[in-house]
Amino acid sequence: MEPGVPHPAVTSSAERRFRVLVGVTGSVAALKLPLLVSRLSDVPGMWKRRSDPVLHIDLRRWADLMLVAPLDANTLGKVASGICDNLLTCVIRAWDRSKPLLFCPAMNTAMWEHPLTAQQVGQLKAFGYVEIPCVAKKLVCGDQGLGAMAEVETIVDKVKEVLSQHGGVQQS
């Protein structure tokens, strides 16, 4: 428990804040992270401050929802295979599957179209995780096609939808 924060059992639902843990991978789409975090902080009921880094178990306990945006091909493969060799993959591996985990694939079109990618995305869905599909556009590398991370507004809308389904944020 954080000092000065009432125990959840004595906190009214009107005072309840939802905490979203945002996982970031090495995709070039990570450039959108400041905008994404800024827009998420505008969602009613979201956190308004950051805390010191904590271990993966503390993070999974702290968060009500996890969003991995962008999820690059490397981390997709690790998560689908159960590899947990960094803080992000450890949190995902320890994730409480009764809580929502959303992921936003982002990679080059050739990587997206590789047969392993569909298998790995299918594995994450089998774990109960929710895909926010990538989109087709001209990628930073110059290629045109599927693989770009979903637009920020699409991601924020999906987070709001999932939170409202779990008794959190009201749709506006």
pLDDT tens for residues 14-36? 556 777 888 888 888 888 988 99
Q: What CATH number is associated with residue 62?
A: 3.40.50.1950
31 part of a folded domain: yes
123 part of a folded domain: yes
3 part of a folded domain: no
Overall number of domains in the chain: 1
Average pLDDT over residues 25-50: 80
148 part of a folded domain: yes
170 part of a folded domain: no
97 part of a folded domain: yes
Q: Contact 84/78 with Cβ under 8 angstroms?
A: yes
Residue 26: φ, ψ to 5°: -80, 10
106 part of a folded domain: yes
Q: Residue 54 pLDDT > 60, yes or no?
A: no
From 90, 104, 134, 141, the catalytic residue: 141
Q: How confident is the model at residue 171 (pLDDT cuts 50, 70, 90)?
A: low
The more confidently predicted of residues 23 and 169 is 23
Q: Residue 57 pLDDT > 70, yes or no?
A: yes
Beta strands in the chain (DSSP E): 20-23, 65-71, 101-105, 130-131, 135-138, 144-148
Q: Is 84 annotated as catalytic? A: no
Which residues form the domain of 118?
A: 17-165
4 part of a folded domain: no
